[in-house]
A and B are shown apart, each in its own frame.
Chain A
Amino acid sequence: MPDLIDMRGIDKSFPGVRALRGVNFNLRAGEVHALMGENGAGKSTLMKILSGVYQPDAGQILVDGKPQAIGGPRAAQALGIAIIHQELMLMRDLTVAQNIFIGRERRNIFGVLDEAWLNASAAAIFSQMKVNIDPRARVADLSVAQAQMVEIAKALSYKSRALIMDEPTAALNAKEVAELFAIVARLRAEGVGVVYISHRMDEIRQISDRVTVMRDGALVGTVAAADTPIEKIISMMVGREISDVRPIVPNLAGSPKALEVRNLSRGRAVRDVSFDLQRGEILGFAGLMGAGRTELARLIFGADRSDGGSILVSGAEVKIASPADAVRFGIGYLSEDRKHLGLALGMDVRANISLTAMARFSDRFGRIDEPALGRVAQDYIAQLAIRTPSDAQEVRLLSGGNQQKVVIAKWLLRDCDILIFDEPTRGIDVGAKAEIYTLIQRLAATGKAIIMISSELPEVLRLAHRIAVMCEGRLTGILPAEATQEQIMALATQRETTAGAAA
């Protein structure tokens, strides 16, 4: 019997990136096939091709042994391929049944909707799944787990034979995960093929039959889940050659503590996180997407409210209720999302650099000392080698690396002693990355305390003096600079249950 789905030699490029290179992937009826890899390995791109969102540049997709062109999401649906996205695609104000049958509503001859049919059909699917959800409930009133069940029901209503689930357990608690797994097991028993994208090692072992690992847009290998140790899978994920450049860790024995975080919490996103940061230190924060690192940074910076915990700056407890407070205490935050959170793109370089330090450059009537601002902007343009025709250039016209330097200049001008870099090189080309690294190291050498959040392990290993690792909102460990990728990945995938057992 041919495989349900057979993808052969799939290539896909986006401007500037080769996202997939000759990837082979197959899915059998009645199996759960886990797809693993670091952020950016190409898992989502591959699945978007399978579900018709993207078109491959090269390669072939066979469904039941027959070559098929999947021109769009509707074509995928017609072939029985359904995808459940990480962010659920439901209309919150419609009912469960209305969501499941959106676009396929039965109407009577006057064009009036047949709600009874909708609800009955939805109920039939739920009873088949053996879950108990009221078809008339508003989606907004459901839990995340229930909403996920609705997505699955919607997929089944299309008579799907292949179901792609992208990190379905990311927002679920242990009990909900168990319920989800029960349904996945039932679907498998009924002959549905399930592609399961997840970062969680224990889950993979629990429910999958085979595991395919991708790295940097290429296939690393496909193995049987049952007889492959977790260590093997981790090493497949991170097996990239990394340069031997390791940071020279300065002796910080006499260096005062710049920042102490004690039991900081916010809901499930950040749970009871404590750590210290010394002046002159670069503390890397590693973890997978959604581990809570950005959320932690936003708490320290006062952009979000914490549920509990305390923050000490230079040994004194401080109350940080807003970013304005944080800036007053000398904490600067360089957001991962420069364009939306870091820069006023339509304003010029000078205005962006000076945004945080307006008070220093204006008199008591609020009049701005433009010549002084101009001199300072010129200074930083020279000092950080920002490539811009002038300080009057609109920031949106600069390249990513130069935009990042403008953000750095902004915080340097404000004289912050504690700088939080969140994905400092995201969207920046290789040459500019090296420059940013040098800059961060120089800042630490001058006594700044630096937190560097990065999802790129080589980056963390190259810069960080110590490496804090987070998983699911918890700080699962702090490793020395000599840590291996495997050690970091093990902590980054350490779920609460396993952590509890280890403790």
Chain B
Amino acid sequence: MSSAEAAETPKSKDFSGAGQKLLAFASLIALIVAFSLLSENFRTVTNMMNILQATSVIGLLAVSATIVIITGGIDLSVGTAMTFTAVTAGMLLTWLHLPIPLGVLGAILMGALTGLVSGAFITKMRIPPFIATLGMMLVLKGLSLILTGTKPIYFNDSPGFTSIAQGSVIGALLPAFPVPNGVVILFVVAAVAAYILNRTVLGRYTYALGSNEEAARLSGVNVDAWKMAIYALAGAVTGVAGVVLAARLNSAQPALGQGYELEAIAAVVIGGTSLAGGRGTILGTLIGALIMSVMTNGLRILSVAPEWQIVATGAIIIGAVYADSLRKK
């Protein structure tokens, strides 16, 4: 064995993923500190809870988007799929008067089904993810409007439904921390998703597909079946987002949803997940989603015009990815 080859092998592990997460986390802390110094209205517990509450739905969608993006795919339908699952919950609970747990389960299963359908388009019909989910985005938007007759479905007949997002189990135990349930759901779902990605076969194949799909196929992995399962899992998370959104609004708003997918993807990107696939973490995505909420909330409290808030969000996305590419050089 030549010593040259041994020398070629670097001894240190590459920390690029961790580096981006650290950078994102530092940015989040810096933002919070800066806004806290600039406004005392920002640094209240109530406002912190507002920020968390505002993060719950986008955070869930971003978790869903992360799973798909790690495979090297993209899901543009998460926004309208979320609405579709909210509408599903509305139909099950308000129209069919089913008990709340069944309605919630139905919405999540519907989410998984939309993911499965996207996955089937991508694997069985060989439609690129961008196109397949762009189509699904419009189909689901249209279906939501058709099924509801374009009118919102209210959950007034299902008392307790709103507490899924608005109540606070933690607040009942620890009055000093009235963390809304929607936020708890986000963190629980994120933890489960992180567990699946890091500890299960499904997760391992998610990274393997994004890293080198052909190598996975030639290793005897049934790529098509696993990819459909991954999209279905992401769809189920989208379904949870739909339930939380419906509970927060006490209604299923059929016209809502489009545009959320881009915010979700933005959170994923800020969190350091590569759109090329193979790399990314749920923790990074959570940080990314929080950066966006903190930014929006802080600028609003500082009375910056909403138009400028949009500009700032765009600048953050570009800045985050640029910082990452600088660091890699």
Task: Please classify how large the interface on chain B is, using the bins under 10, 10 to 19, 20 to 34, 35 or more.
Answer: 20 to 34
B303 beta carbon closer than 8 Å to chain A: no
> B215 touching A429 by the CB < 8 A rule?
no
> A366 touching B9 by the CB < 8 A rule?
no
Known A-B contacts A399-B9, A429-B5; the reply to A327 vs B219 at CB < 8 A is yes
Q: Specify which of B208, B217, B221 is in contact with A347 (CB 8 Å cutoff).
A: B208
Residue ID in chain B nearest A342 by CB atoms: B215
Contacts of A478 in B (CB 8 A): none
Cβ contacts B1-24/A at 8 Å (1 or 0 each)? 110111011111110000000000
Nearest CB of chain B from residue A326's CB, rounded to whole Å: 7
B46 beta carbon closer than 8 Å to chain A: no
Q: Specify which of A344, A359, A397, A431 is in contact with B5 (CB 8 Å cutoff).
A: A431
Q: Specify which of B5, B215, B216 is in contact with A402 (CB 8 Å cutoff).
A: B5
Mark out the residues of chain A between 360 and 407 whose CB falls within 8 Å of any chain B CB in the assembled complex. Answer: 362, 365-368, 370, 385, 387-389, 392-394, 397-399, 401-402
A225 beta carbon closer than 8 Å to chain B: no
Number of residue pairs across A and B with beta carbons under 8 Å?
Answer: 116
> A432 touching B219 by the CB < 8 A rule?
no
Contacts of A368 in B (CB 8 A): 199-201, 204
Residue ID in chain A nearest B11 by CB atoms: A389
Cβ contacts B192-229/A at 8 Å (1 or 0 each)? 00000001111011011001101111111110000000
> A414 touching B220 by the CB < 8 A rule?
yes
> A399 touching B204 by the CB < 8 A rule?
no
Residue ID in chain B nearest A361 by CB atoms: B201
B73 beta carbon closer than 8 Å to chain A: no
Nearest CB of chain A from residue B113's CB, rounded to whole Å: 20
Q: In the complex, A341 Cα to B216 Cα: how many Å?
A: 8
Contacts of B204 in A (CB 8 A): 351, 354-355, 358, 368
B248 beta carbon closer than 8 Å to chain A: no
> B222 touching A324 by the CB < 8 A rule?
yes
Nearest CB of chain B from residue A333's CB, rounded to whole Å: 6
> B214 touching A344 by the CB < 8 A rule?
no
Residue ID in chain B nearest A365 by CB atoms: B200
> B212 touching A430 by the CB < 8 A rule?
no
Residue ID in chain A nearest B222 by CB atoms: A324
> B220 touching A366 by the CB < 8 A rule?
no
> A394 touching B14 by the CB < 8 A rule?
yes
Nearest CB of chain B from residue A195's CB, rounded to whole Å: 36
Cβ contacts A278-304/B at 8 Å (1 or 0 each)? 000000000000000000000001010
Q: In the complex, A397 Cα to B201 Cα: how many Å?
A: 24
> B10 touching A344 by the CB < 8 A rule?
no
Known A-B contacts A344-B212, A366-B200; the reply to A431 vs B220 at CB < 8 A is no
Contacts of B9 in A (CB 8 A): 387-389, 397-399, 402
Q: In the complex, A366 Cα to B225 Cα: how many Å?
A: 14
> A340 touching B215 by the CB < 8 A rule?
yes
Q: Specify which of A303, A358, A385, A389 is in contact with B217 (CB 8 Å cutoff).
A: A303
Contacts of A367 in B (CB 8 A): 199-200
Known A-B contacts A399-B5, A432-B2, A435-B1; the reply to A344 vs B13 at CB < 8 A is no
Nearest CB of chain A from residue B81's CB, rounded to whole Å: 24
Q: Specify which of A335, A344, A385 is in contact with B216 (CB 8 Å cutoff).
A: A344
> A429 touching B205 by the CB < 8 A rule?
no
> A397 touching B10 by the CB < 8 A rule?
yes
Nearest CB of chain B from residue A294's CB, rounded to whole Å: 12
Residue ID in chain B nearest A388 by CB atoms: B9
> B220 touching A328 by the CB < 8 A rule?
yes
Q: In the complex, A194 Cα to B312 Cα: how many Å?
A: 62
Cβ contacts A315-357/B at 8 Å (1 or 0 each)? 0000000111011100001010000111111110001001110
> B218 touching A335 by the CB < 8 A rule?
yes
B141 beta carbon closer than 8 Å to chain A: no
Name which of A326, A346, A367, A388 has the most chain B CB atoms within 10 A of its CB: A346
Contacts of B6 in A (CB 8 A): 387
Known A-B contacts A358-B205, A368-B200; the reply to A342 vs B218 at CB < 8 A is yes
Contacts of B279 in A (CB 8 A): 346
Contacts of B208 in A (CB 8 A): 344, 347, 351, 355
Nearest CB of chain B from residue A424's CB, rounded to whole Å: 15
B278 beta carbon closer than 8 Å to chain A: yes
> A355 touching B219 by the CB < 8 A rule?
yes
Contacts of A402 in B (CB 8 A): 5, 9
Residue ID in chain A nearest B224 by CB atoms: A322
> B202 touching A355 by the CB < 8 A rule?
no
Nearest CB of chain A from residue B7's CB, rounded to whole Å: 9
> B14 touching A397 by the CB < 8 A rule?
yes
Q: In the complex, A387 Cα to B6 Cα: how many Å?
A: 7
Contacts of A397 in B (CB 8 A): 9-10, 14
Nearest CB of chain B from residue A196's CB, rounded to whole Å: 35
Given A324-B220, A387-B1; 16 other pairs, CB 8 A cutoff: A327-B219, A327-B220, A341-B218, A344-B215, A345-B211, A346-B211, A347-B208, A347-B278, A351-B207, A358-B221, A362-B201, A366-B201, A370-B199, A387-B9, A389-B9, A429-B4
6 closest A-B pairs (Cβ-Cβ)? A327-B220, A344-B211, A431-B2, A366-B200, A399-B8, A366-B201
Instruction: Identify 26 residue pairs between A and B in the complex whose beta-carbon atoms are under 8 Å apart, listed by A's number.
Output: A323-B220, A323-B221, A327-B219, A327-B220, A333-B218, A342-B215, A343-B212, A344-B207, A344-B278, A345-B211, A346-B211, A347-B207, A347-B278, A354-B204, A355-B216, A356-B219, A358-B204, A366-B202, A368-B199, A368-B204, A387-B5, A392-B13, A394-B14, A397-B14, A398-B9, A399-B8
